[in-house]
Amino acid sequence: MDLASPSALQRSPDSPHYNWLLCWLLLPLINNLSAFSFPSLSSPLVPIPFSELLPINKAARGGHQSPSPPTERPRIIPPPAAKTLAAADPMATASSQASLLLQKQLRDLAKHPVDGFSAGLVDDSNVFEWQVTIIGPPETLYDGGYFNAIMSFPQNYPNSPPTVRFTSEMWHPNVYPDGRVCISILHPPGDDPNGYELASERWTPVHTVESIVLSIISMLSSPNDESPANIEAAKDWREKQDEFKKKVRRAVRKSQEML
């Protein structure tokens, strides 16, 4: 019999050659017995059709269950790019710029002192608050005095002006009773709502600590009683010169005593 002939195998299904060939074909399946559950030896064996050998052999390699689809790796979404300081907080940017500008002015005044006043920080950790000592201008009623003042800068300096307040006693038409200085360059920029000042006379960002203090020294030399901050002082200046001089001399003596 020709074992390679399919017709011969079909005509003799019970021949030993047929059984031998069947075992040879089932050998790959037998090598993967650990992946299958078989019936007990006492149970009758059921022949496996040839058409199912290949699928079973593939299943044996991967187990009874069909392989699960590959799990998609989670996409790592990078954090959003850090916002610039200007986009995150415009006020913080303005504050940083003001701080740098004030530090530069402080260094400049330390290298090149200006006659008539001295300036420094009240607290080294706060560049927005300055201690200023103004020497009374010569040949004026305030001559010989040493008048201390606090200059407080806003976070958006130089777009807005600082405030200046004398902590020493001061008697002057342009100084409020609480010590606040009232001069045009310390008023907010723009038109005067009361119509007393021109916009060009008010604050502009070109002003520095030096220009502000020099303007205050000029104020001490030439009081303006047309729009006074201290009405009583303005009246004394206009109508009671002796009384005005007396009060100013007292302020000068007190400032000297505080040295």
Note if 182 is an active site residue: yes
Rounded to an integer, what distance in angstroms lies between the CA atom of residue 132 and that of residue 224?
22
CA pseudo-torsion sign 224, 155, 205, 191:
negative
The pLDDT value recorded for residue 207 is 97
The pLDDT value recorded for residue 31 is 60
The pLDDT value recorded for residue 33 is 54
Range in 12-16, 145-149, 245-249 with the lowest mean pLDDT: 12-16
The pLDDT value recorded for residue 179 is 98
Mean pLDDT to the nearest integer, 237-256? 97
Range in 56-60, 63-67, 159-163 with the lowest mean pLDDT: 56-60
In percent, how much of the chain has pLDDT > 70?
A: 65
The residue written with tokens 């520095």 in the block is 208
Quickly state the pLDDT bin for 212 (edges 50, 70, 90).
very high
Tell how strand 117-123 and strand 126-135 pair up. antiparallel
Q: Pick the residue with more confidence: 139 or 88? A: 139
DSSP string, 163-190: EEEESS----TTB-TTSBB--GGGSPSS
- Count of alpha carbons within 13 angstroms of residue 69, beta-carbon side: 2
**Res. 68: pLDDT tops 70:** no
Bridge partners of residue 40, in order along the sequence: none
User: Could you give the domains of the chain?
Assistant: 111-257 (3.10.110.10)
Q: Which of 99, 71, 74, 72 lies closest to 85 in space, CA to CA?
A: 99
> What's the pLDDT tens digit per position in 154-177?
999 999 999 999 999 999 999 999
**Res. 107: pLDDT tops 70:** yes
The residue written with tokens 């000042």 in the block is 197
CA pseudo-torsion sign 154, 227, 237, 185:
positive
**Res. 84: pLDDT tops 80:** no
DSSP string, 67-111: PPPPPPPPP-PPPPPPPPHHHH-HHHHHHHHHHHHHHHHHHHHHH
**Res. 249: pLDDT tops 50:** yes
Give yes or no for a contact between 105 and 115, defined as CB atoms under 8 angstroms apart: no
**Res. 10: pLDDT tops 80:** no
Q: How far is CA 41 from CA 22, 28, 44, 56, 145, in A?
A: 19, 20, 8, 21, 121
Q: How far is CA 125 from CA 21, 39, 49, 149, 155, in A?
A: 97, 88, 91, 19, 15
CA pseudo-torsion sign 132, 245, 180, 139:
negative
Rounded to an integer, what distance in angstroms lies between the CA atom of residue 210 and that of residue 203?
14
Range in 18-22, 34-38, 166-170, 189-193 with the lowest mean pLDDT: 34-38
The pLDDT value recorded for residue 149 is 98
Catalytic-labelled residue, pool 182, 213, 220, 251: 182
The residue written with tokens 């020294």 in the block is 217
The pLDDT value recorded for residue 190 is 92
